[in-house]
DNA sequence: CTACCGTTTGGGCAATCGCCCAAATCGATT
DNA sequence: AATCGATTTGGGCGATTGCCCAAACGGTAG
């Protein structure tokens, strides 16, 4: 015995999962109402019954996925004893992402769309700020100088590596980790330019 | 007196410039034949007279823009005396790119599309390899250890910063430069994980 | 002047788009 | 059994898509 509202929530879930598959496969702007419904195995009209628009489905799917991924990253980080080990662990778990896998592509697609979608931009900025602050706090507690700036650059660098990976197969974690770890070292003297 | 072929080459140029504007404005997949022609100030049919497909216009525009930008970056780099100064200079000139400006968005759009477009992927990989190798050679000549890995991570980190900038306004060059410069320092010891 | 050829025009083609909606369906409640 | 509200169905709406093409245009050569 299944109530109508239970079936409804299941359809919603299937639509969000379909979005998680199709955005990386086709690109955010190439996902259509009908393709989404077909992948979810439901009738096309259901998309606009459960969501206010096609964009709303994609936004909710993207934000949910990123929240899950980033939320799992912080505690994993904290299992490491030192920041240097933390970067190592993070990059190792990052080897699961080739850069052209669904999760990586969803991240980049969302970043890019957020440049033109104010609502998505706000949600992503909040998500990213939360992750960055968590990382910065942990870095600070372990004696890292300029923890906020370091965390910001670290987060950006990791996404940059994912962005470059499909074009540069040499960017494996074992090649990246030693270089990226140096970011935890002391400042390097350099002229300040005007 | 203007020959037909001269007018033709001018139309081609105008279409490529229009693509340079519209891809960042609307997103790669949202640029249509008609919108492109309208922005270029030419008739719609000309798009498929001068190019084999709409995608071909966007590809040629993106590759050209990236070739120009990356090509200008290497000599600028070499004007610096030390790698530390080079990063400073690069990041300063990078302040011209807010992350949601046309040039930055075109870079990211191209990276993303290349995940699904084999031809574009090949061209971008070549472009990126050329830049990375030039940077690595210069780093090596200035005594930088692991120059290839350092250059690869540096290139990725810069693109990551551009990707994050619209979501994290604190990522100014003055905040990023000191952190990113540490990448030129000595290796940091850290456990190797199994 | 005529013939020629690369360029340009603008409308047409079939396909697809996001979104809408009346009607059908289904379990729960009376 | 009758009724109700939430969910589902599938087709329809006007707009837009990439690409095509016959016809017009315009400078050059014979």
Q: What is the pLDDT of residues A30-75, one digit of tens each?
A: 999 999 999 999 999 999 999 999 999 999 999 999 999 999 988 8
Token pair 């249509």 is found at B32
Of B86, B181, B70, which Cα lies nearest the Cα of B129?
A: B70
- Least Cα separation, residue A20 to chain B (angstroms): 16
Query: For the ranges B48-52, B151-155, B170-174, which has the lowest average pLDDT?
Result: B170-174
pLDDT digit string (tens) for B181-192?
999 877 776 654
CA of A124 to C1' of D17 (A): 31
CA distances from A31 to A26, A54, A137 (A): 6, 9, 38
What residues of chain B lie within 8 A of the CB of A58, using their CB? Answer: none
* A48: helix, strand or coil: helix
Burial (CB count within 10 angstroms: exposed 0-12, middle 13-18, buried 19+), residue A129: middle
Check residues B98 and B4 and name the one with the higher pLDDT: B98
pLDDT at A189: 64
Note whether B27 and A116 are within 8 A (CB): yes
Residue A159 has pLDDT above 60, yes or no: yes
Check residues A84 and A104 and name the one with the higher pLDDT: A104
Asked if the Cβ–Cβ distance from B166 to A191 is below 8 Å, we say no
Chain C nucleotides close to protein (CB under 7 A) are: 5-12, 16-22, 26-28
pLDDT digit string (tens) for B55-71?
999 999 999 999 999 99
Give me the DSSP letters along B107-146. Answer: HHHHHHHTTT-HHHHHHHHHHHHHHHHHHHHHHHHTT-SS
Mean pLDDT over the full length of chain A = 91
d(CA A78, CA A106): 25
pLDDT at B8: 66
| CATH fold group of domain B55-189 | Tetracycline Repressor; domain 2 (1.10.357)
Asked if the Cβ–Cβ distance from A28 to B28 is below 8 Å, we say no
pLDDT at A92: 83
What residues of chain B lie within 8 A of the CB of A178, using their CB? Answer: 146, 149, 187
What the block records as the tokens of A112 is 């890019």
Where along chain A do its domains lie?
A: 55-189
**Number of CB atoms found within 10 A of residue B9's CB:** 12
pTM of the model: 0.92
pLDDT at A183: 92
Task: Give me the helix-helix angle, A4-26 and A54-78, nearest 10°.
Answer: 80
Task: Give me the helix-helix angle, B147-164 and B173-181, nearest 10°.
Answer: 160
pLDDT at A114: 97
What average pLDDT does this structure show over B119-128?
97
What average pLDDT does this structure show over A145-173?
94
């Amino acid at each position: 015995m299944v109530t109508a509202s239970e079936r409804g929530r299941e359809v919603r879930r299937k639509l969000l999962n379909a979005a998680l598959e199709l955005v990386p496969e086709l690109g955010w702007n190439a996902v259509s109402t009908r393709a989404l419904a077909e992948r979810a195995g439901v009738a096309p009209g259901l998309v606009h019954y459960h969501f206010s628009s096609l964009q709303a489905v994609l936004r909710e799917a993207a934000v949910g996925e990123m929240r899950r991924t980033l939320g799992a990253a912080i505690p994993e980080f904290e299992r490491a004893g030192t920041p240097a080990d933390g970067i190592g662990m993070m990059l190792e778990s990052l080897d699961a992402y080739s850069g052209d896998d669904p999760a990586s592509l969803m991240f980049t697609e969302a970043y890019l769309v957020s440049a033109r979608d104010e609502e998505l931009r706000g949600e992503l900025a909040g998500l990213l700020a939360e992750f960055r602050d968590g990382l910065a706090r942990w870095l600070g507690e372990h004696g890292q100088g300029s923890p906020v700036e370091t965390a910001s650059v670290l987060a950006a660098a990791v996404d940059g590596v994912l962005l470059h990976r499909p074009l540069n197969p040499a960017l494996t974690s074992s090649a990246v980790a030693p270089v990226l770890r140096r970011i935890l070292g002391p400042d390097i003297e350099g002229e300040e330019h005007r």
